[in-house]
Amino acid sequence: MIEKLNIAALLPELILLVMAMVIAMIDLFDTSVRRHNTYVLTLMTLGLVAVLQAFDASEGATIYSFGNMVVSDPMGNWLKCFSTLSVMVTLVYGRPYAAERDMLRMGGELFTLGLFALVGMYVMISGNNFLVLYLGVELLALASYALVALRRDNATASEAAMKYFVLGALGSGFLLYGMSLLYGATGSLDISTVFKSVTSGHINHQVLVLGLVFVVCGLGFKFGVVPFHMWVPDVYQGAPTVVTLLIGGAHKLAAFAMTMRLLVEGLLPLAIDWQQMLMVLSVASLLIGNLAGIAQTNIKRMIAFSTISQMGFVLIGLYSGVVNGNTAAAANAYSSAMFYVVTYVLTTLAVFGIVMLLAREGFESEEIADFAGLNQRSPLYAGVMALCMFSLAGIPPMVGFAGKLSVLQALVSSGQTGAVALAVYAVMMSLLAAFYYLRVVKVMYFDAPITASTVTAGADVRIVLLINSGLLLVLGLLPGGLMTLCARAIVSTLGT
C-alpha cells in the first residue's frame, strides 16, 4: 500500500517531534531543581509514543508514505517501541544522577535533547531513502554530541564530546560517500528502487561494491565495531553516565535497524560481499573487545569493550542470512540478531542503572573496585548486577544465553563453510569475556566493602530497576514470546 501522504504512518513521530518542542518551551518555566514537570511530561510523551508504536506493530501492516520516503513496518515499529522504552528507562535512572551533577539546574536539555535524539532514531529506523536515513543519523548524532558535552565544565566530558564529534563526523562522511556512490551507480536514493536495480544485474558490480565498502564502514562506526571502535571506550568513559547509557542502549537498536534497511532491504543481492565484510568486523571485534576488556579497571570502559564484542555477536547473526544466494535462512538469522540486540540493550540498561545508583555526589563509582563488597551493603542491587554480568557472559538461565544460543544456532544451521569453526571461535571469545564479567561479581561478593554506606534509590528508580532485572531472568527462562515477536517482525519486513 503506497500512498503519497499518509500522516497516520508517521503519527508517533509527529507527536514526539511536537512534544519535544512543547517540552522545550515548558522547560523554560520549570523552576524546580530536578525539573519535575519536564520529567513527568517527557515520560508521559514517551509512554504514549511507545504504546502507539506497539499498537502499530501489532497491526502488522507495512505502510509506505511520503512518496516512499519512509516506511512503517512491524520491525521498525517494534524497534522504535523498544528504543522509546529504552530512552524512558535511561531518563528514569539518570535523573537523580544528572540532578546531583548540576546538569539540570540550567535547563532540561537532558530531556529535550534526549527526545530529539529519539526522533533521530525514529527516522533512522523508518527511513526508506538514503537521504532520509542520513538525516536521521545526523539528527541523532548532533543531539548526542551535545548530550555528551552537557557537563561543559567537565574536562573529560568535553574531550569525549570532541572525539565523538570528530570520529562520528568521519563515520557519517563514510556513510554519505558510500550512499553517493550507490546513487551514482543505481540512479536512485529510494531503497526499494535500489534493490530492484541491483537485482537486475545490469549495474557495474565494482562500483556497487566500492559504495558498499563505505556504507559498511559507516555502519561499523555506528555499531562501534573493530576497527571503527576507537571512539567507543573514550566516549563511554567520558560522557556523563546517563548519556553513556543512551549511546550504549537505544543507539544500538537504531544502528541495527539502519543496517537492516541498507544492507538487507537495499543490497541483499550483494549479501555475499557484505557478509564477508561483516564477518571480518565481527571476528576482529570479538578478539579486540574481549582482550581489551580484561585489562580495564574502569567499569564504563569495561562495558564499552564488552559492547564492542557483543556487537560482534550481532554481526554474526547478520552474517548468517544468505548462503550461496539462497535466502531461506535469512529470517532465522536476522531475527536472531534482532533478539540479540534487543536483549543486549535490556541488560545494558540494568548495568548502567546500577552504576548510576552507586554514584553519589562527588563520587562517580566508575572504578570496578568501587563495587567492592556491594553484597554486604545491598544484597538486592548486588544480585541485580550479578544477574546482568552472568547474562552478558551468556550463562543460562539469563537472557544473554538465549541470545547467544539463537545467534550461534543461526550461524551453524546456515551451513556456510567454516560456520562451525566461527562458532567455536565465538564461544572461546566469550570464555575470555566471562573472565572480566566474573571479576565484577568477584569484587561485589568476595571483597570486603570499602564503605558501609547503604545504597538508596527513589521509588521510580527502584521499581523500574526491579522490572528491568526481573525481565533478564524471565526472558531467559521464557524467551519464546520475544523470539516469536522478532521472527514475525523480520518475516514481514523481508516479505515486502
Contact positions toward another protein, by CB under 8 A? 375, 379, 383, 390, 395-397, 401-402, 405-406, 408-409, 412-413, 415, 420, 423-424, 427-428, 430-431, 434-435, 438, 441-442, 445-446, 478-480, 483-484, 487
- CB closer to another protein, 164 vs 437: 437
| Residue 149 exposure: Cα atoms within 13 Å on the Cβ side | 13
DSSP letters along 336-391, please? HHHHHHHHHHHHHHHHHHHHHHH-BTTB---BGGGGTTHHHH-HHHHHHHHHHHHH
Is 3 or 447 the residue whose CB approaches another protein more closely? 447
Q: How far is the CB of 371 from another protein (least distance, A)?
A: 14
Residue 63 φ/ψ, nearest 5 degrees? -125, 125
Per-residue 3-state assignment (H helix, E strand, C coil) for 421-483: HHHHHHHHHHHHHHHHHHHHHHHHHHCCCCCCCCCCCCHHHHHHHHHHHHHHHHHHHCCHHHH
- In the complex, the smallest distance separating the C-beta of residue 482 from another protein, rounded to whole angstroms, is 10
- Which residues make beta-bridge pairs with 70? 65, 127
Closest distance to another protein from the beta carbon of 427 (Å): 4
CB of 313 to another protein, least distance (A): 13
Among residues 18 and 424, whose Cβ is nearest to another protein?
Answer: 424
Give least dist CB 392 to another protein, A.
Answer: 13
What are the distances in angstroms from CA 469 to CA 276, 301, 305, 432?
36, 22, 22, 24
Contacts of 442 (CB under 8 A, 6+ apart): none
Classified as helix, coil or strand, 298 is strand
Shortest Å, Cβ 284 to another protein? 20
Residue 87 or 457: the one with the smaller Cβ distance to another protein is: 457
> Do residues 81 and 88 lie in contact, with contact meaning Cβ atoms separated by under 8 Å?
no
Report the nearest approach of another protein to the CB of residue 264 (Å). Answer: 20
Residue 424 C-beta: closest distance to another protein, Å = 5
Identify which of residues 175 and 490 has a Cβ nearer to another protein in the complex.
490
Q: Whose Cβ is closer to another protein: residue 299's or residue 402's?
A: 402
Counting beta carbons within 10 angstroms of the beta carbon of residue 63, is it exposed (0 to 12), middle (13 to 18) or buried (19 or more)? Answer: middle
Looking at beta carbons only, is 349 or 410 nearer to another protein?
A: 410
Question: Does an H or E element contain 63, and which?
Answer: strand 63-65
Question: Residue 217: which H helix or E strand, with range?
Answer: helix 205-223
Q: Which one, 354 or 422, has the nearer CB to another protein?
A: 422
Are the CB atoms for 11 and 103 separated by under 8 Å? no
